[in-house]
Chains A and B, each alone.
Chain A
Amino acid sequence: MRLLLALLLFPAAPAQAFLFGGASDKKAGADLEKMRSAFEAGDCSSVLEPSPIFLHEKPPAAMREEAYGYMGRCYESAGATDKAISLYKLALGLYPENMLFASRLALIYNQAGFPENAAPLFLNVLSIKSDDTDASLGLARAYAALGFLSRAKDFYSRTVILQDFLDQAVLREYALCMLRKRDWPEALFIAGVGARAAPLSAFWHLVEARVRAGQGDYRKALSAIETAILLEPSRQLRLERSLYLLLGRLPRRAMEAADAELAADGKDALASAVKGMALHSLGKRTEAAPYFAAARCGGRFTAEIAGSFLKNYGADAGTDELCKK
């Protein structure tokens, strides 16, 4: 008994290493240090290559947790998304409090088009750190993708406040989400903030135009879109203006706008559709029909709208041969 006690009190060096893992921990610590340096230097192959040996050494939990973080991000940067997902899922099971794993996994899910998987992970991160900007933005995006627009608004709003309204790209996303939600006051507010920060950007005037159109105020919509056109002229903006003219009960001006586009490109299907609809609203169906026939050669939606008018006229809506010519 005394002998056993003495052995326990004064263990030999190898036994000490066996019982408490001293030498092994030191080696693992050294390996982890190498992985850390390699990660910081952006050398992912030097992070990933020794990782199986490192993990085989059964390092302490804290070291393994740190290593998983480097490995996961290296898998991500190498484009090995599946490996990164597997690793983060494993790591998250072992270290559920680790925000990095939850956050990275959620970002990957969002990017890969699985917002339903991303949302609970972002919520988990935010339950630990409520002012995490990336998680808040990620959650807003996940909710927006799923269609939970009220919830998306909460988190976009939180994100832009955390960012002091400085990130134009996020403000744009937020504004587009509010347009989708038909939340006109919020979209207008964000458009105002965005325009003050970037007064030469046509985007914010376009948002304002869509808000005004959504509210049924086509005159204000026209004014806003005309400012957008001055800043960044484009066919798309000009045609949107022609639609506002039409919807604002100014069919003759809408026709002039459509004619200008048709003068530049006689096969412009959208311009043809606008002109056709303007003529239709003036009761000139015979004159409208050829424009709808031309619009049948446009994109699917334009073609189907035009087909709907032609069907209404009792005309042949199938103009596939005409479009081939």
Chain B
Amino acid sequence: MWTRLASSKPPARPSVGLALSGGGARGFAHTGVLETLEYSGFPIDYISGTSIGSVIGSLYASGTTVPEIWKFGRAARELKFSKDFKSVKLLSLLITNRLITPTYINRFLEERFGALTFEKLKTPFACSAMDLRTGEKIVFTEGPLAIAVRASSNLPGIFAPVRYRHRQLVDGGVVDFIPIGDARQLGADWVLASVIENASSRSPENVLMSLLQVIDIRGSLLSLSAEKEAGFVIKSEVGDMTVADFDRCEEAGEAGLVEANRRIDAAREALLIYAAPRLAEKL
């Protein structure tokens, strides 16, 4: 039955969405989850992401293969993502009274996506950000991709808000840690959520890490109610990695793969149980 489900397309079966949560560098666990989903032939018709989930989700939706995403994770050290965080000095923030721009992350997104738009993605994709002035959740489903992903992964209080049209946008994880609703709005009947288990067990060693950890914990709390809306949840535990440990992305990916492998049979069963009547109807 699974092979029939995996090889058919909607409307012969219910459409499936994949919602990827935030979690900073820990969120690279989504890559391992994607690899396991591919092994099992899990259909993915729509993708939604918040924060790091929007980065990985947009890469996947644009047709980047899972091995290529792993390569980005391995290269994160060279891509100097951590440097964007290490460059944050509290004293300079106070003296200059200006938030910084994540140079290396922005460069990566611009180089990777260039002029790519949502409309040209291989899989329909949505990502969310928050308007800092109104507190509104802004969901992107059209227009230029790079700036939307930048906004969705833009940590508030540290990185300067992304100005887009009349908005000042920061990380969507503040208002919606797991964008299950966004996947449904795209058209998904059933949503699998990949969530990063709550904050690192490591004590934050400085002001910046404390702030990041607070954002992460708040996101995890938000996710508790959102998870109930999902058809299935894969929750990866990433150990003592912090949200800014971009030098350890591969480790997070492996943790995601191990957890997804442990849960994949249950996920397939959950989808099959949901999909069976429609699947049998179209035989």
Task: Indicate, yes or no, whether A interacts with B.
Answer: yes
CB contact list, A174-232 vs B, under 8 A: 180-182, 213-214, 216
Bound complex: CA of A246 vs CA of B1, how far in Å? 9
The answer, among B3, B41, B257, B282, for a CB contact under 8 Å with A147, is B257
Bound complex: CA of A312 vs CA of B277, how far in Å? 7
CB contact list, B246-283 vs A, under 8 A: 254, 257-258, 260-262, 264, 269, 272-274, 276-277, 280-283
- B5-47 to A contact mask, C-beta < 8 Å, 1/0: 0010000000000000000000000000000100111000000
Q: In the bound complex, do residue B262 and residue A147 qualify as a contact, i.e. CB atoms below 8 Å apart?
A: yes
Chain B residue, CB-CB nearest to A243: B1
Q: In the bound complex, do residue B3 and residue A277 qualify as a contact, i.e. CB atoms below 8 Å apart?
A: no
The reply to whether the CB of A308 lies closer than 8 angstroms to some CB of chain B is yes
Q: In the bound complex, do residue A281 and residue B280 qualify as a contact, i.e. CB atoms below 8 Å apart?
A: yes
Report chain A residues within 8 Å CB of B262: 147
The reply to whether the CB of B4 lies closer than 8 angstroms to some CB of chain A is yes
The answer, among B7, B257, B261, B264, for a CB contact under 8 Å with A216, is B7
CB contact list, A286-325 vs B, under 8 A: 301, 304-305, 307-309, 312
The answer, among B1, B261, B273, B283, for a CB contact under 8 Å with A281, is B283
- B158-186 to A contact mask, C-beta < 8 Å, 1/0: 00000000000000000000000000000
Report chain B residues within 8 Å CB of A247: 1, 3-4, 283
Chain B residue, CB-CB nearest to A221: B3
User: B31: shortest Cβ distance to chain A, in Å?
Assistant: 13
Chain A residue, CB-CB nearest to B261: A147
User: A288: shortest Cβ distance to chain B, in Å?
Assistant: 9
Q: In the bound complex, do residue B261 and residue A280 qualify as a contact, i.e. CB atoms below 8 Å apart?
A: no
Report chain B residues within 8 Å CB of A26: none
Q: In the bound complex, do residue B273 and residue A277 qualify as a contact, i.e. CB atoms below 8 Å apart?
A: no
Bound complex: CA of A116 vs CA of B239, how far in Å? 14
- With A147-B258, A247-B4, A304-B273 already in contact, the answer to whether A280 and B280 are too (CB < 8 A) is yes
CB contact list, B136-195 vs A, under 8 A: none
The answer, among A116, A146, A301, for a CB contact under 8 Å with B269, is A301
Number of A-B contacts (CB under 8 A): 62
Q: In the bound complex, do residue B269 and residue A147 qualify as a contact, i.e. CB atoms below 8 Å apart?
A: no
Interface of A is mostly: helix
User: B275: shortest Cβ distance to chain A, in Å?
Assistant: 8
- With A147-B261, A247-B283 already in contact, the answer to whether A309 and B276 are too (CB < 8 A) is yes
Chain B residue, CB-CB nearest to A305: B276
Chain B residue, CB-CB nearest to A149: B39
Bound complex: CA of A114 vs CA of B137, how far in Å? 43
Chain B residue, CB-CB nearest to A288: B280
The answer, among B39, B40, B258, B282, for a CB contact under 8 Å with A146, is B258
Q: In the bound complex, do residue B257 and residue A213 qualify as a contact, i.e. CB atoms below 8 Å apart?
A: no
Report chain A residues within 8 Å CB of B39: 147, 149, 180-182
Q: In the bound complex, do residue B272 and residue A305 qualify as a contact, i.e. CB atoms below 8 Å apart?
A: yes
Of B254, B280, B283, the most chain A CB neighbours within 10 A belong to B280
Chain B residue, CB-CB nearest to A301: B269
Bound complex: CA of A116 vs CA of B274, how far in Å? 34
Bound complex: CA of A280 vs CA of B260, how far in Å? 33
Report chain B residues within 8 Å CB of A307: 273
User: A261: shortest Cβ distance to chain B, in Å?
Assistant: 17
Nearest 9 CB-CB pairs, A to B? Answer: A147-B261, A281-B283, A312-B277, A277-B280, A247-B4, A216-B7, A280-B280, A304-B273, A214-B3
Q: Known contacts A280-B277, A281-B280, A281-B282; can you find 11 more A-B pairs with CB under 8 A? A: A146-B257, A147-B36, A147-B257, A147-B264, A182-B40, A214-B41, A246-B283, A247-B4, A247-B283, A277-B276, A304-B273
A residues near B (Cβ < 8 Å) are: 116, 146-149, 180-182, 213-214, 216, 243, 246-247, 249, 251, 277, 280-281, 301, 304-305, 307-309, 312
B residues near A (Cβ < 8 Å) are: 1, 3-4, 7, 36, 39-41, 254, 257-258, 260-262, 264, 269, 272-274, 276-277, 280-283
25 sample A-B contacts, Cβ–Cβ < 8 Å, listed by A number: A146-B258, A146-B261, A147-B39, A147-B257, A147-B258, A147-B264, A149-B39, A181-B39, A214-B3, A216-B3, A243-B1, A246-B280, A247-B3, A247-B283, A249-B283, A277-B276, A280-B280, A281-B281, A281-B282, A301-B269, A301-B273, A304-B273, A305-B273, A307-B273, A308-B273
